[in-house]
């Protein structure tokens, strides 16, 4: 049984030869530790600076080379691939460094280094609006009708290289930004928009479906097995967005997008951090067949979700991010073995972290977890 067969078997809730493994994301410090060299793979700070300096192709070549080697070193069954920066980015002058970890661009926007996830963040929020004029709505729809084909460079490379033998997963389906981006502003402003701009948001649905359809059709031509959207609609205490708004604005859109995915013979997964218990039924009704980031630390229980959804959702989980960051080896071992015991029966289980292998986590902990799954995750 090759990796792709293994993943498809477990998605269909049958037991494969062993538990398949893969990651929604693994940050650059771990990739560098494993490969022994610098990489741009999920290297937010260095990639941002390189893009400012016009070195897009250098980034993309690193992403191809380094992730391919990582996939083969760790023998991932799931190969997770994002869109990449377009070749023809509109690029002005690179922001000027004005202090330690601080930059300013030609429009006066300030950027600061965020050590928590090793990224550079824009600290100057863009102008936000709470409704769209007819011309703004038309422009938003027009923008969603075109995709620069160069953003698929990684999809094409990894799909063509691995798609016959491993389960290639596209992680950039977009049911959030396609609706909210036209309103501008920061995250807080977008929460206000969700409460006051229902008509405008619904008016964007057809364009958002079409945008995601273009992603789906391209991926289907390049051996992609799983299409995944990764918007975090929840926090530790429950949904960030009220379930009522989710059911009006997002779940109908998700259902239409997922119908397109299924029509192309692919599977639809979602990533969502936090406690999803109030809306997990809605994700299932919207047509998702896999759930990544099942966060026990946010109050979820693998055994409860397995019992209730084990014949409907493939559970992609196994080791908590907190354990990868600061857990002892005995704690890690106990957690992995408990996950295998609960989640293996009947298939429907892919092993990975509950979010990603985050910047600053313990690489050794992660590699030990993989070793345990290889040893104990045999059917």
pLDDT tens readout for residues 36-56: 999 999 999 999 999 999 999
Q: What is the mean pLDDT of residues 367-378?
A: 97
Q: What's the whole-model pTM score?
A: 0.96
pLDDT confidence bin for 123, thresholds 50/70/90: very high
pLDDT confidence bin for 125, thresholds 50/70/90: confident
Q: What is the mean pLDDT of residues 140-145?
A: 96
Residue 106 has pLDDT above 80, yes or no: yes
pLDDT confidence bin for 144, thresholds 50/70/90: very high
Residue 361 has pLDDT above 80, yes or no: yes
For all residues of the chain together, what is the average pLDDT? 96
Q: What is the pLDDT of residue 145?
A: 97
Please write down the HEC assignment for all residues of the chain: CCHHHHHHHHHCCCCCCECCEECCCECHHHHHHHHCCCCCCCCHHHHHHHHHCCCHHHHHHHHHHHHHHHHHHHCCCEEEECCCCCCCCCCCCCCEEEECCEEECCCCCEEEEECCCCEEEECCCCCECCCCCHHHHHHHHHHCCCCCHHHHHHHHHHHHHHCCCCEEEEEEECCCHHHHHHHECCHHHHHHHHHHCHHHHHHCHHHHHHHHHHHHHHHHCCCEEEEEECCCCEECCEECCCHHHHHHHHHHHHHHHHHHHHHCCCEEEEECCCCCCCCHHHHHHCCCCEEECCCHHHCCCHHHHHHHHCCCCEEEEEECHHHHHHCCHHHHHHHHHHHHHHHCCCCCEEEEECCCECCCCCHHHHHHHHHHHHHHCEC
**Structural domains of the chain, with CATH:** 3-92+129-376 (3.20.20.210)
Q: What is the pLDDT of residue 126?
A: 84
Q: What is the mean pLDDT of residues 259-284?
A: 97
Q: What is the pLDDT of residue 92?
A: 77
Percent of the chain having pLDDT more than 70?
99
Q: What is the pLDDT of residue 254?
A: 98
């Amino acid at each position: 049984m090759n990796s792709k067969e293994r993943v498809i078997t477990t998605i269909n809730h049958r037991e494969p030869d062993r538990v398949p493994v893969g990651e929604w994301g693994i940050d650059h410090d771990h990739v560098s530790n494993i490969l022994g060299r610098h990489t741009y793979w999920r290297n937010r700070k260095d990639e941002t600076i390189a893009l400012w300096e016009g070195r897009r192709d250098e980034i993309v070549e690193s992403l191809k080379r380094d992730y391919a080697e990582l996939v083969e070193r760790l023998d991932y069954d799931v190969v997770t691939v994002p869109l990449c920066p377009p070749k023809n980015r509109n690029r002005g002058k690179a922001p000027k460094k004005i202090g330690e970890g601080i930059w300013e661009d030609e429009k006066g926007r300030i950027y600061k280094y965020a050590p928590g996830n090793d990224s550079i963040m824009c600290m100057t929020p863009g102008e936000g609006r709470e409704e769209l004029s007819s011309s703004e709505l038309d422009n938003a729809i027009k923008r969603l009708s075109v995709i620069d084909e160069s953003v698929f460079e990684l999809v094409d490379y990894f799909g063509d290289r691995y798609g016959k033998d491993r389960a290639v997963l596209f992680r950039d389906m977009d049911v959030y930004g396609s609706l909210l981006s036209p309103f501008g502003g920061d995250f807080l402003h977008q929460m206000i928009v969700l409460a006051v701009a229902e008509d405008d948001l619904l008016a964007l649905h057809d364009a958002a479906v079409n945008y995601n359809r273009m992603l789906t059709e391209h991926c289907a031509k390049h051996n992609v097995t799983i299409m995944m959207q990764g918007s975090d609609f929840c926090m530790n205490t429950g949904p960030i967005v009220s379930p009522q708004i989710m059911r009006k604005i997002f779940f109908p859109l998700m259902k239409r997008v997922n119908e397109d995915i299924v029509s192309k013979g692919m599977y639809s997964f979602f990533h969502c951090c936090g406690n999803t218990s109030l809306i997990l039924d809605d994700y299932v009704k919207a047509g998702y067949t896999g759930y990544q980031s099942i966060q026990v630390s946010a109050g979820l229980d693998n055994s409860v979700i397995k019992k209730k959804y084990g014949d409907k959702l493939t559970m992609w989980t196994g080791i908590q991010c907190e354990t990868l960051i600061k857990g002892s080896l005995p704690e890690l071992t106990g957690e992995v073995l408990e996950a295998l015991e609960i989640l293996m029966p009947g298939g429907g289980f892919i092993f990975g972290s509950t979010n990603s292998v985050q910047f600053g986590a313990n690489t050794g902990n992660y590699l030990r977890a993989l070793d345990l799954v290889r040893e104990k995750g045999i059917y």
